[in-house]
Chain A
Amino acid sequence: GQQLNQSPQSMFIQEGEDVSMNCTSSSIFNTWLWYKQDPGEGPVLLIALYKAGELTSNGRLTAQFGITRKDSFLNISASIPSDVGIYFCAGFYSGGGADGLTFGKGTHLIIQP
């Protein structure tokens, strides 16, 4: 089946730093989604991308749909303590009978005081 490689697995940063993470696949997707999971809670949708090359922002978050349709990137600018959590990418491909999302394993963001 399709797999997503999400990196890095963990990030230890200082408050105020910018953050970059990415998701890659050997298969193409026609939708990319980014979720954030706070500790002990369920993931919440941050950004959805529907077109190759698309760049979308949500406050300090910016995500891009890779031009090859095989990757996506999420950037967080000027990190703050509430950015701590696990960030998941998810891809969707409508062909081949598949009808669900494929998730990456997550990037665990830790902000050091």
Chain B
Amino acid sequence: DGGITQSPKYLFRKEGQNVTLSCEQNLNHDAMYWYRQDPGQGLRLIYYSQIVNDFQKGDIAEGYSVSREKKESFPLTVTSAQKNPTAFYLCASSIRRQAFYGYTFGSGTRLTVV
């Protein structure tokens, strides 16, 4: 079955460390997105990519970085510059320029800074 896989489900990070969240899809979607979810704040866009080797900042990109070397993969790195990284992170994908069909979301990664 086609889908989008995020790993790990739970991640613990010490302050000052970088950590990378994985997102892989086998839906043949060109567009991929990263969202951060905090209680009561909805979904906030971190980065998105419409095609391989190209990505754009979203509303809250500071302290995060991404790469898009393969169509199937869009990893997110939470850097030590992100002051409040504890959150639930969601990856999504869609057909490029056909977002009206909706996004397919992964099951999320919960990151906790300890």
Contacts and interface: CB of A to CB of B under 8 A. Distances in A.
A104 B107 CA distance: 19
Given A99-B97, A99-B99, A40 B108 contact: yes
Contact of B101 (A48, A88, A103, A106): A48
A44 B108 CA distance: 12
B106 A48 contact: no
A96 B107 CA distance: 31
Contacts of A94: 100
Interface residues of B, number: 25
A88 B100 CA distance: 15
A31 B42 contact: no
B48 interface: yes
19 contacts: A30-B100, A33-B102, A40-B110, A43-B43, A43-B105, A44-B105, A45-B102, A45-B103, A48-B100, A48-B102, A50-B100, A99-B96, A99-B99, A100-B48, A101-B99, A101-B103, A103-B43, A105-B40, A106-B42
A42 interface: yes
A105 B43 CA distance: 7
B76 interface: no
Contacts of B103: 45, 90, 101
Contacts of A50: 100
Interface string A75-99: 0000000000000101010100001
Given A44-B105, A50-B100, A103 B50 contact: no
A16 B92 CA distance: 33
B53 interface: no
A22 to B, nearest CB: 15
A42 B110 CA distance: 11
Contacts of A105: 40-42
Q: Give the 8 A-B residue pairs with the shortest CB-CB distance, closest first.
A: A42-B105, A105-B42, A31-B100, A92-B100, A45-B102, A103-B43, A42-B107, A43-B105
A33 B31 CA distance: 18
A103 B90 contact: no
Contact of B99 (A9, A100, A104): A100
